[in-house]
Amino acid sequence: MDPPNIYYTALKMLGILIVLIGALYACLLLMKRLFHAGFAGKPDQMIRLLNVRSVGIKKQIALVEIPGAVLVIGMTRDRMQLLDKIVDVDIRNQISAGHISEDRGQRKGSD
């Protein structure tokens, strides 16, 4: 019985490794595409992320629109907390349309 050819064995192993890495990379791309399509914020979804603002290191405030309300959510590294729930129709419409300025929540152009 002949001893195995080390070059042939190494080439075979390298080929299998390349095929496996390619298959894993293809699975990764497929999963990213599927998950990204599910969280893209389509108009027909019931939950929509309006805005996220960083207020410190790993601390953020998010505006999330759900049917009937806009939620103000505080997020840290290890938890999320509901800060406020805006149910007033006029304010909700202004927030959704982006008519609230960043200066103390006043309308653009008003004094």
* Chain segment 45-72, per-residue pLDDT in tens: 788 888 889 998 989 999 888 888 889 9
Q: Would you place residue 73 in the very low, low, confident or very high pLDDT band (cuts 50, 70, 90)? A: very high
pTM assigned to the model: 0.49
What are the residues facing 61 on neighbouring strands?
Answer: 53, 74
Q: Kindly state the tokens that stand for 92.
A: 């909700």
Percentage of the chain surpassing pLDDT 90?
A: 35
Q: Would you place residue 2 in the very low, low, confident or very high pLDDT band (cuts 50, 70, 90)? A: confident
Cβ atoms of 64 and 70 within 8 Å: the answer is yes
Cβ atoms of 51 and 86 within 8 Å: the answer is no
The whole-number pLDDT of residue 38 equals 57
Distance between CA atoms of 108 and 3, rounded to whole angstroms?
Answer: 82
Q: Nearest CA to 99 among 86, 88, 85, 109?
A: 109
Mean pLDDT of the chain: 80
